[in-house]
Structures are given as structure tokens and as C-alpha cells.
Amino acid sequence: MNEQVKTALRGANQLNILVVGDVMVDAYLLGKVERISPEAPVPILRTEKREQRPGGAANVALNLVALGARCTLVGAMGQDDEANILKGLLEGAGISAAGLVTLKDRPTTSKTRVMSGGQHLLRVDREATHDLDTEQSAALLKRINALLAAERFDAIILEDYDKGVLSSEVIRGSIAAARSFGIPVTVDPKLRHFNDFKGVDLFKPNLLELNEGLGLRARGDRPEEIDAALEALSARLAPAATLLTLSENGVRFCSGTGSGHHPAHAREIVDVSGAGDTVIAVATVLLAQQISLTDVAATANLAGGLVCEKPGVVPIDPEALLTEIDRQNA
């Protein structure tokens, strides 16, 4: 990593990025467990604090804003209290909700994590995961095209959590719209529509998603298996570049001009939730400024590791990332 990377990170405030995907509310019940319930063999949490944060694709947007970029979010929410909470959270974070549509037949996705001392005890989800129907998909695409026509965007992120917003129609229509406006597309995929993300500029699966999507059993500690899986991915989806996250084995990257690997850095891992959101956000900010793929991969790898040192889903601290880059270069 070099000074170009640091300049690009500081230049994120010149970027305008559209995020399309599954938005949600990340809620937390935080407290202490000091005894077991007499009613059943379960811990009793004495709640000390309640928190709510933008989650899913909204957490990707939160990372982009933390880096200094402007961001508009496209997704779906219900007609419920969580929708009002989400809109308030986005407004407070400086994220445009101009692309959000309200649907009657599904709730606003929410994940409530019950935690004691930084440790997860339980997660409670409220969601509907069926795909948007043809009419709903068309409405979302109409909103996307209107946003693209109204202002300049430097990149589009498709952030899939398999909650149904990224239907096949929305995926293909978003990629086609981006192509018509000359905007690069980056993708954080899930299994259900893995094979719909064809010909994008950057495809960022983790190893589980890659194996499930391709029907393989490649191991992260076996480079020859990873290389074979990436070749199969290239043959099927033809992304311009791939960034594969491998947890404790770091990241693997490849494109038509070459490939490489960056190992993981030693960390005190507290919580891996949201690390993928940080990786795709940082990678997109750098890719939009023509930073080389090897530096994109190295920096995103660092950023993903940093957010794992904190409990819960948290965005990247750009100053901490710049400091870590300097430490790695020392």
C-alpha cells in the first residue's frame, strides 16, 4: 500500500455512491448476566442499554459515509415502527433514503442481538425473505433509473442479504442501468441469486458463498483449490475482478491482469458481524478512484479486520485505518 491509497481514502468525500440491497435495523439489548432463571435453564440479562443502528445494506452506506462519501440507499421497508426508526437512523447518519420504497406485504427487516459483556446470547429476527414480485421489482428499478438520471454516481454497490430485495429482475436491471450510465458495479453476493451477478466490475464473495454458489468444497488453506474455484467463477460470471475473503486465511484477488493473496493480520477478534459490509465499502471507494486491485484487496483486508475488534456491527474508523496503513508500511 502506498500514498495513492491514503490519498484515495481521503478523497472519498468527492464520491457519490448508490447502494442497492436489503436494508434493516440492527437492534441491541446490552447488559449483564449474573444469574440463571429459576423458570428454565437460561441466563437472565439485566438490560442496561438499548441501541439501534442501520444494518444490512444500510450498514454498507454507514461505512461509506464514515469514509466521507455521499451515499443514497435503495431498498424496501414495511409500514411499521421499524421503518420510522430506520428513516430516523439514516437521516441522523447523513444517508439519503431517496431510494427506499414502502411495501405493504412485508415488514422492515430487523435483527435484535441480545448481548452480555460483548458476547452474543441470542439474536431475534423479524423479516420476510421472499423475492420482490415483478411489479415491486419494476417499481424499484424505476426509482434506480430516476436517481441515476438525476445526479452523477461514481459507483453502485449491490448488497445482497438474501432478504428478497435483490430479485433477479432488480439485479439484472441495476447492472444494465449502470452500464447505460457508465458506472462501475461492485457486488457483495449471497446464495439465492449468486448466478445473476454477471459481468460486474468487482465481485466480493466469502469462501462459504463461493462454495455454495459454485457447488464446491474448496478449503481456504489450500491455494490450488481456491485457484480452481476462482477459475470456475470467472468462467460462469465473468467479473472484471474478484475479491475473495477467506477469514483467518486473508483475501485472494484476481482479474484479467493477474492475481495474488494477502494474509490476515493478527487481531483480537471480538465480533465478525458487518466485516463484509466494511470490505465492500472500502473496496468500492478505492476502485472508483482507479486504485490497483492488489492495493484495493490489501486495504479492504485491513479494514475488515479492524471492525472485527469491536462488538456489534460498527462502521470503519477512517483515521484508524490510515494509522494501520502507516503501521503496516513501517
pLDDT (mean) for 118-145: 94
Read off the pLDDT of residues 31-40 as tens digits, 9 standing for 90 and up.
999 999 999 9
Is the whole model's pTM more than 0.75, yes or no? yes
Tell me, what's the pLDDT at 40? Answer: 95
Read off the pLDDT of residues 84-123 as tens digits, 9 standing for 90 and up.
999 999 999 999 999 999 999 899 999 999 999 878 899 9
Tell me, what's the pLDDT at 330? Answer: 66
Tell me, what's the pLDDT at 174? Answer: 98
Residue 272 binned pLDDT confidence (cut-offs 50, 70, 90): low
Concatenating the DSSP letter of every residue in 115-143 gives EETTEEEEEEEE---SPP-HHHHHHHHHH
Tell me, what's the pLDDT at 326? Answer: 84
Q: Which CATH fold topology does 3-329 show?
A: UDP-N-acetylmuramoyl-L-alanine:D-glutamate ligase (3.40.1190)
- The share of the chain scoring above pLDDT 90, in percent, equals 81
Would residue 277 show up in a list of annotated catalytic residues for this protein?
yes
193: which DSSP letter?
Answer: T
pLDDT for 327 beyond 90: no
Q: What is the overall mean pLDDT for the chain?
A: 93
Tell me, what's the pLDDT at 113? Answer: 93
- The share of the chain scoring above pLDDT 70, in percent, equals 95
Q: Which of the following is catalytic: 277, 295, 317, 326?
A: 277
Residue 273 binned pLDDT confidence (cut-offs 50, 70, 90): low
CA distances from 204 to 197, 218, 242, 276 (A): 11, 16, 6, 9
Tell me, what's the pLDDT at 89? Answer: 97
Read off the pLDDT of residues 211-243 as tens digits, 9 standing for 90 and up.
999 999 999 989 999 999 999 999 999 999 999
Residue 295 binned pLDDT confidence (cut-offs 50, 70, 90): very high
pLDDT (mean) for 306-320: 77
pLDDT (mean) for 39-46: 95
Residue 270 binned pLDDT confidence (cut-offs 50, 70, 90): low
Tell me, what's the pLDDT at 323? Answer: 85
Concatenating the DSSP letter of every residue in 8-77 gives HHHGGGG-EEEEEE-EEEEEEEEEEEEEE-SSSS-EEEEEEEEEEEEEEHHHHHHHHHHHT-EEEEEEEE
